[in-house]
Chain A
Amino acid sequence: MTAAELPPGAETVSIPAPRTRTNTQRRSGSRSNTELYAWLFMRVSGVLLVVLVLGHLFIMNILDGGVQRINFGFVAGRWASPFWQVWDLLMLWLAMIHGTNGLRTIINDYTRRDQLRFSLKMVLYTATTLTIALGTLVIFTFDPTIN
């Protein structure tokens, strides 16, 4: 494209050509296929979550009348069925890992200082681990006769 074709004031943007990665360009620590598996996981878990989460939202917010109907007894009724326990457990794990990997990508994209990037990711992984552990514990140890 020549400069004459551009509108006045527009700047040309040159996009560097994609480079073929050679072994000499590989840094140590990037020899695994972790990023490939992370990319694949986002797509596989994404498809499953479309069913699990949209189903959850549709049932909870529309079919079952929304938050107005929700109380301890409602939860007890739902988790009396192993089907919904497995549904919620799968949704918890997949959504948490999917979201964590998404936020990991965003942290990698926007942080420049190595120390900050590392710290933010450690906060993220800690919060994720605690939340998955808490949610899993609650589903497995739920007691409808707690009082």
Chain B
Amino acid sequence: MSDVIAQATGLVKTYPPRDKRAAPFTAVDGIDFTLHRGEAFGFLGPNGAGKSSTMRMLACVSPPTAGTLRVLGLDPATDGRRIRARIGVVPQDDALDTELSVRENLLIYGRYFGLSTDVIDQRATGLLDFAQLSDKAAERVDALSGGMRRRLTIARSLINEPEMLLLDEPTTGLDPQARHVLWDRLFRLKQQGVTLVLTTHYMDEAEQLCDRLVVMDGGKIVAQGSPAELIAAHATREVLELRFGIGEQAAALDKLRQAVTGDRIEELPDRLLWYTAEGDAALAAAHTLGLAPVTALVRRSSLEDVFLALTGRTLVD
């Protein structure tokens, strides 16, 4: 199928032990996925779920331990160079040379791809415009803000006009405004036909950007689908969040679990989550039971709730 851009079957990544007594560490434990041209695909999961290891294998900077992987129809084990020439990578830590200027960073990176200085100059002008950094071209990178650096990293990753862009935690560490600017840029790229593959542990980011996603936990894929499908399958339309005074939560939980049938109720250290179709009705029912929460919040359920339902844990621990 020509519209498949990457495919993995039984993909495993095991790292050798740090010392002789330790056991080898399996970061990715037999996963299957298929990525299609032009889509935005997300790997979602907590730290240590195996997302970044999967991304490194896709980026052809880490050979799979077992399973098969094809990227752009090629085998990373033998065609790493050719694959890497056609993809773009946005690492989480930016990986810019902070002592060089914005433009020099693009120049260096373009040279790695064998581009001539003329081509790099020409593309750099367009990319800096895209990244809203045109007026910063001559500045040293260490003078840029976190959001600017991330946009420069994305601009740099586009210097070879990649068919697929891999983004590892693209908005981690950015303030909300910078994050929205970035989402907008990524959305434009997608409109231009670039396949986006990203990892995140933010549910709102996955909902904003991803057409399809897989939820990873402990090196395995525990669920997959569109954000809406996952919410429909593993959560409810609304969630009622109830916070109680110190020491009152356990008693309230007992009372609710005896009285409520059908709906799922999760306990977090600081609050109860009541998964229900109608949050307001649930709150009214709670008051009828004589419960007096300190605060009560009705919200739409999100991928965060999906993850909690699937693993019993919150996403950002």
| A pairs with B | no
- Point out residues on B near A: beta carbons under 8 Å: none
- Point out residues on A near B: beta carbons under 8 Å: none
